[in-house]
Amino acid sequence: MVSEKIADRTPPVGKNNEYIVNVTGLNHDGEGVGRVDGFTLFIQGALLGEKVRIKVLKVKKQYGYAKLLEVLEPSPDRTEAACPIYKQCGGCQVQHLSYDAQLAWKHRMVVDNLERIGKLKVRMDGAGSGSAIGLGETDEGVDGVSEGLSSGISGGRSYEMTGPEVIVHPTLGMDQPWRYRNKAQVPMGESEAGLVGGFYAKGSHRIVDMDVCLIQHDRNDEVVRRVKQISREIDISAYNEETRQGLLRHVVVKFGFRTGEVMVVLVTNGERIPKAEILIRRIREEIEGVRSICQNINRQHTNVIFGEETRVLWGQDVIYDMIGDVRFAISARSFYQVNPVQTKVLYDKAVEYAGLTGSETVIDAYCGIGTISLFLARHAGKVYGVEVVPEAIEDARRNAELNGIANVEFAAGKAEEVIPRWKELGIDPDIIVVDPPRKGCDPLLLDTILAMSPKRVVYVSCNPSTLARDLRILEDGGYRTVEVQPVDMFPHTVHVECVIGIQRIDT
């Protein structure tokens, strides 16, 4: 096998050496893929089709990383990154790729996963199909890069395709792919000049001050700027990870795009905030739309942002926002999609693929605060939602009430444990919707779906590789993947979200 040969031999490149390479692919981290004597190098900032000069940074057994020194022949899809701190920050990975090319690349990335991992026969619909903008070579065949899936070195594409074709539509992008985020979570630190807040300098824990983030709503930027300014003026200290001294760890801001409501959460390393009254008064006076100021206490030595305890310092414990005509209460710690404009697009597709007529029984697994459940309830007989975080289920119930939606029922627990119990109780869904985290559906849940045998399954996925793995299981169990709609929820990053319509074969 080729893999053994590669593993046995000494890498033909040396650290700090410079090379000129042709970039033959773009991997799922947005890195260019190039080869020196057959040895794979990943190059941040390089694009497919480019000729580049690089310097090797790190060499592993089967692959390495290189720094882009110079683009000798640029791709026609290359564009100037709009953000001045793009390279230092690392929060966005593909700003140097034009937006249209980003959408086409995400389209191809979904197709590639469905073919390679899901072994599905795919038809690319519309723009992007056959386009020059593609993946080229990916990191297939490089161990440990395919996100925990055991594909390892899978040796090309000689597998057999099964079933009829799956249609993969072009990625639905944004008209204005900037300033789309409704939530900011900004780490605070101390510099010689005092309190700073922004982002961790790549590969370190040093915080670089930042006032403008082009993917955040400007209100979030403004709130963070103000809170930093006020904190400096009244001498609130920032947390230091090494000494574990100092108070303010993160400033978290949530903004309701439709309502204009703002929540400010101060994550602190301790209970007492000196001059708290002044801080609260000034935030209320100086920031438009503030409805809630909360404190979350996190004394742990950890990267996790939130601690267990949240207090309301002033105002409500939630802010409200709307998606379509459904209203949602959002608390400090509950999960709410970060791009509300595209969330509407995503949920509308989920409802469309569910194909409801008004009488169906639907299960919404991984329901969070009940967003998709409530969207579906309008068109269904009854919706059952399940979610592992108990507070989210409390929010979901509150949201149902807020909207006067009575045909929903929510349960807290693991989908793979609760849904088999529902089956025992005789609940017989016509449609099951799943929206799992990145690791995909639990195998037990997939077994239960097959045993319950709903007419349709709608899969909302934030990770095409685990999606493809799960689709293979559903296909082998008697379902057919009909169509896939990628939706760009996170412009300028490598993330891609999809909605998938899946049908029982005999229907």
Q: Which stretch binds ligand SAH (CB under 6 A): 164-172, 200-208, 247-255, 383-391?
A: 383-391
270 in contact with ligand SAH (CB under 6 A) = no
By beta-carbon proximity to ligand SAH, the closer residue of 261 and 416 is: 416
Transcribe 25-39 into DSSP letters: EE-TTSEEEEEETTE
| Token representation of residue 161 | 């395709």
Query: Cβ distance 261 to 289 under 8 Å?
Result: yes
Unique residue bearing structure tokens 């990628």: 486
One residue of 278, 388, 402, 411 binding ligand SAH per CB under 6 A: 388
- Given CA atoms 467, 173, 95, 23 in this order, what sign does their dihedral have? positive
One residue of 270, 437, 443, 478 binding ligand SAH per CB under 6 A: 437
Distances (CA, A) of 173 to 170, 208, 352, 420: 9, 31, 18, 37
Q: What are the helix (H) ranges across 234-316?
A: 276-286
How are beta strands 262-268 and 361-365 bridged, if at all? unpaired
Query: Cβ distance 266 to 253 under 8 Å?
Result: no
State yes or no: 395 annotated in a binding site: no
378 in contact with ligand SAH (CB under 6 A) = no
- Residue 133 identity: I
By beta-carbon proximity to ligand SAH, the closer residue of 153 and 389 is: 389
By beta-carbon proximity to ligand SAH, the closer residue of 56 and 326 is: 326
By beta-carbon proximity to ligand SAH, the closer residue of 99 and 490 is: 490
Determine which one of 213, 294, 367, 462 is catalytic. 462
Unique residue bearing structure tokens 């026609």: 76
- Residue 93 identity: Q
Report the C-alpha gap between 281 and 216 in whole angstroms: 25
Report the C-alpha gap between 30 and 159 in whole angstroms: 26
State yes or no: 366 annotated in a binding site: yes
SS (H, E, C) 253-316: EEECCCCCCEEEEEEECCCCCCCHHHHHHHHHHHCCCEEEEEEEECCCCCCCCCCCEEEEEEEC
One residue of 51, 67, 299, 414 binding ligand SAH per CB under 6 A: 414
Unique residue bearing structure tokens 């793009």: 86
415 in contact with ligand SAH (CB under 6 A) = yes
One residue of 366, 375, 459, 490 binding ligand SAH per CB under 6 A: 366
Catalytic residue list contains 213: no
Report the C-alpha gap between 272 and 204 in whole angstroms: 29
For residue 347, the minimal CB distance to ligand SAH (Å) is 7
400 in contact with ligand SAH (CB under 6 A) = no
For residue 114, the minimal CB distance to ligand SAH (Å) is 21
Q: Which stretch binds ligand SAH (CB under 6 A): 140-148, 217-225, 298-306, 409-417?
A: 409-417
Of 125, 137, 44, 109, whose CA–CA distance to 497 is shortest?
109
Report the b/e string of 375-384 with b at 16+ CB within 10 A: bbbbbbebbb
One residue of 230, 372, 376, 498 binding ligand SAH per CB under 6 A: 372
One residue of 241, 430, 435, 470 binding ligand SAH per CB under 6 A: 435
State yes or no: 387 annotated in a binding site: yes
By beta-carbon proximity to ligand SAH, the closer residue of 99 and 384 is: 384
Q: Which stretch binds ligand SAH (CB under 6 A): 99-107, 257-265, 360-368, 498-506?
A: 360-368
Counting every residue, how long is the chain?
A: 507
Q: What mask, x for binding ligand SAH by CB under 6 A, covers residues 325 to 344?
A: ----------x-x-------
Burial-class residue 157 by CB neighbours within 10 Å (0-12, 13-18, 19+). exposed
487 in contact with ligand SAH (CB under 6 A) = no
State yes or no: 216 annotated in a binding site: no
| Token representation of residue 31 | 């890195």
By beta-carbon proximity to ligand SAH, the closer residue of 306 and 366 is: 366
By beta-carbon proximity to ligand SAH, the closer residue of 77 and 497 is: 497
Burial-class residue 322 by CB neighbours within 10 Å (0-12, 13-18, 19+). middle
Q: What mask, x for binding ligand SAH by CB under 6 A, covers residues 439 to 478?
A: ---x------------------------------------
Annotated binding-site members for S-adenosyl-L-methionine = 337, 366, 387, 435
Residue ranges binding ligand SAH (CB under 6 A): 335, 337, 366-368, 371-372, 386-389, 392, 414-416, 435, 437, 442
Catalytic residues, by residue number, are 462
Annotated binding-site members = 337, 366, 387, 435
